[in-house]
Amino acid sequence: MDRLDNTIRPYAWGSATAIPKLLGVEPTGEPQAEMWMGAHPGAPSRTTRGTLVDIIDADPKRELGPEAVAKFGPHLPFLLKILAAGAPLSLQVHPDLEQARQGYADEERRGIPVDAPHRNYRDANHKPELICALTEFDGLCGFRDPLRAADLLDALGVDSLKPYVDLLHARPEDAALREVLTAILTADRDEMAHTVAQAATACARLGGDHAPYAGIAHHYPGDPGVIAAMLLNHVRLQPGEALFLGAGIPHAYLNGLGVEIMANSDNVLRCGLTPKHVDVPELLRIVRFEPGDPGVLRPEASPDGEEVYETPIDEFRLSRYVLPAGGTSHDLTLPTPQILLCTAGSVRAGEHELTPGQSVFVPAAEKAEASGTGTLFRATVRL
């Protein structure tokens, strides 16, 4: 079992205080957006034996287990993060596995450098995600019912939005959503900037359901993504609640601290709220234009105290243990690799005493016990 030394990424949207507060350290004054735990080559966790990439590469079957290697290959298939949003992230979607493979192969064929700003597919993998709130957490997830989106836009009283309102009353719903999103993203930039400014003023005046979009517009003035965001469900998670974000579901995190887990991929197609490249035709090919409830997840408790966040994919499985004072120890031994992360209290994992923000890597089949008083998240795979 290896204690992990993890990299904190200073993306501009990160909170300057949330991760330092969790870790019990002084803020640096700079944004601290994500702490990465895993074997992603961009920022692998470090141990006394070397980086987690080095350790796994040296003996994949020992570290990951033969069954996990047979199913996922000789690499850790998930990346665990602590995410601290102080401003909205870009509005985005992720491809499914087949779309990622096709897109990656196509861009390789065309000779687009993997680090090019206009590259869409940096690997051949999909990127399903789960975010579990540690604090109250705001986000956008999936399309609203088009009629509700029409009402939200219509209430702004902005004449240039009237055509979108009319389109959202059309049928079928998926075609209406596709046509409106296409119109927003291909509109004249200067005209759209004027529309966004008017919409932002109205959102601030109206408050209520419109308030989140005033905040988004404050961070991204004139961005077409502000209007696109109003097509989506606004979700406020309470601590312990989670969202699963599958392929093609448009989403954005707005504010809050959470534990995020994802398949090990960098494939992102952006819809807005970003200065980065937006490939509208490819985006429209990937987006699932299906209105519906965002589906807030709550953990399902098992008799041994493990609370599992159920998802339909195998590359990761996230659960947690809320350990009471004076409770018994829990046997966490599995035939799969694990990362254990403390987010509250003081938890003993094997020989390691963990405080909030500290984590360990547990190789497959290695004996692992947890005890103490606090909250411990467990990340592994599903065989």
List residues with catalytic annotation: 270
Rg (CA), the chain: 22
Closest CA to 212 of 273, 276, 126, 129: 273
- Give the integer Cα–Cα distance in Å for 286 and 96: 8
- Give the integer Cα–Cα distance in Å for 25 and 311: 34
CB 360 within 8 A of CB 351: no
Closest CA to 47 of 346, 355, 352, 315: 352
Residues in the chain: 383
Backbone φ and ψ of 48, nearest 5°: -70, -15
Tokens of 60: 């994949």
* Cross-strand bridge partners of residue 270: 92
- Burial class for 51, CB neighbours closer than 10 Å (0-12, 13-18, 19+): middle
**Which helix (H) or strand (E) covers residue 196, if one does?**
helix 189-206
- Burial class for 71, CB neighbours closer than 10 Å (0-12, 13-18, 19+): middle
The owner of tokens 């993504």 is 225
Angle at 312 (CA atoms; ends 338, 286), nearest 5 degrees:
110
- Give the integer Cα–Cα distance in Å for 72 and 263: 11
CB 202 within 8 A of CB 156: yes
